Amino acid sequence: MTGLSFIFLILAIVLVWGGLVASAIFLARRPEVGSYPSGGTDDHREDAGIIEHDT
């Protein structure tokens, strides 16, 4: 393994695993959506029960 390929390997590992760790930290700090983007509305889907079908 050449030096250049080893640098790119380390860079790729830091990029992938760093992104995973940063995402986990972000979701731990802000698990709920604070506000929806314009045009988006909260339709209260979680208030409705589970759809049951007669089989």
Secondary structure string (H, E, C) spanning the chain: CCHHHHHHHHHHHHHHHHHHHHHHHHHHHCCCCCCCCCCCCCCCHHHCCCCCCCC
Place of tokens 């409705």: 48
Q: Is residue 49 part of a domain?
A: no
Banded model confidence at residue 12, pLDDT cuts 50, 70, 90: very high
Q: Is residue 54 part of a domain?
A: no
> What is the distance between the alpha carbons of residues 32 and 50, in angstroms, rounded to a whole number?
22
Q: Is residue 38 part of a domain?
A: no
Q: What is the pTM of this model?
A: 0.52
Domain span including residue 18: 1-30
Phi-psi region of 41 (alpha: psi -120 to 50; beta: other; left: phi over 0): beta
Q: Is residue 14 part of a domain?
A: yes
Per the structure, the count of domains in the chain is 1
For 26-51, write each residue's pLDDT tens digit. 999 988 877 777 776 666 777 777 77
The yes-or-no verdict on residue 55 having pLDDT over 90 is no
Q: Is residue 53 part of a domain?
A: no
